[in-house]
Structure 1
Amino acid sequence: MIMAICCLIIETLESFYQGMPDTRKLSSAMFRSFFGRDTTLDVFAGDNDWFYKDIRCGILHQSEARNGWRIVRRGRLLDKSRKSINATKFIRELRTIVDTYAEQLEKDEEIWLKFKKKMKAVCKNCD
Structure 2
Amino acid sequence: MNVPAEEKKTYARFVTEMRVRPDDIDLYCHVHASRYLDYVLAARLDQMERFYGMPMEEFAARGLGWFQRAMTINYKRPLAMGERFKVETGVVAFRRDGVVVSFKIFKENGRVSADGEGDYALIDMKTRRATAIPADVKEKYSL
TM-score (norm 2): 0.30
Greater Rg, structure 1 or structure 2? Answer: 2
Higher share in strand: 2
Higher share in helix: 1
